Amino acid sequence: MNVLVVNAGGITLELSVVDDSGNVVATREIDPWDGHETDAIAGFVADAPTIDAVGHRVVHGGTELTAPTLIDPHVEQLIEAASNLAPLHQDRILFGIHTTERLLPGIPNVACFDTAFHTTMPEVASTYALPSAWRDRWPLHRLGFHGSSHAHVAAVAGSIAGAHRDQRRIVSCHLGSGASVCAILDGRSVDTTMGFTPLEGLVMVTRSGSVDPGLLLWLISGGGLGADEVEHGLYHDSGLVGLAGGSGDMREVVQRRDAGDEAAGLAFDVYIHRLRREISAMTASLGGIDILAFTGGVGQHMGRVRAAAADGLGYLGVAVDPSRNDVAQSDADVTADGATTACIVVTTGEAIEIAAATRRTVLATRA
């Protein structure tokens, strides 16, 4: 069964065809993607091998949808209802779903939710300390995101790090336009930096990451901003864009920093500070660390970010070998000699995980 995987991110669109053996046999990335252009999708589908099913990365299914689910009109309504919980993604995801339904009539479409991998988090990690009346009225808890990416890290990290190393405790850093860190124990998520929405946690390209909620209340009650203005600012005008200006692309930020741009320098330093802090927090949730993994567009391709993060984590036994780290762009062990924690680069594998989940879901409906 060949599965077309549609990954509509906040900025990009990634299309892949994955075969029965888990091999990516065709792929294309549209960067940036405006969220409503169909020609690239139609062209890719026309040139691709025969497609038997379509798997969509869906960021948020609300609290009702977590497991991979065959898409029907009711599921589409639930995904649309969760749009205010992931405003950078949901409309783009729905556009991708509607486009593939039109281009491939009769082919099953499956929604694979970012939150699925994190359903194993214990209550102590997923519970917000909010009034019980609120928690009784609404299912308010930490859901976590980038689940397919972190699940792939859990599946392959041991083979990259090598069998001679301890492998139970993995801290996985998915760094892209969105970013999160996950604590993985024996292959299961036990903590992560994102919460009820994909806004919590790390500094991202346009998203703020964690901010004092009292500050947000002040912006509305004391600063005179409307809730819509605050939401837009937190999702679209914050993060690296808010600190450095420009596109917020980490490659551009690094170039400007190297040229002496103070705003870009501060943006990079804030990003790294928060990343180190959250890696340390995930290590605390695990009671230690055996493997530190970097994946996602930034994590996989930018050795400068990996090196800067590792430079502040020596107390955890983390260190990278510059000669290996500087050139690593795919699966690689970049651990420095003598370091007690393995540091690895993992090729982004969301498509492989989504394809596998899609295949299982479709076959289950036919059994």
Q: Is 114 a catalytic residue?
A: yes
CA–CA dist 126, 269 (Å, integer): 29
CA–CA dist 201, 165 (Å, integer): 29
The residue among 83, 90, 73 whose CA lies nearest residue 35 is 90
Cα angle, residue 177 at apex, residues 176 and 178 outer, rounded to 5°: 80
CA–CA dist 328, 234 (Å, integer): 33
Chain length of the chain: 367
CA–CA dist 163, 90 (Å, integer): 40
The residue among 63, 27, 21 whose CA lies nearest residue 45 is 27
CA–CA dist 244, 227 (Å, integer): 24
Place of tokens 């509305």: 220
State the helix-helix crossing angle for 227-236 and 213-221, rounded to 10 degrees: 140
Q: Which of 19, 20, 52, 114 is catalytic?
A: 114
The neighbouring-strand residues paired with 5 are 16, 55
CA–CA dist 46, 90 (Å, integer): 25
Collapsing DSSP to helix, strand or coil, 198 comes out as coil
User: With contact defined as beta carbons under 8 Å apart, do 295 and 244 qualify?
Assistant: no
The residue among 251, 252, 290, 271 whose CA lies nearest residue 160 is 290
Cβ neighbours around 340 below 10 Å, total:
13
203-226: buried (b, 16+ CB within 10 Å) or exposed (e) per residue?
bbbbbbbbeeeeebeebeeeeebe
Which residue numbers are catalytic?
Answer: 114
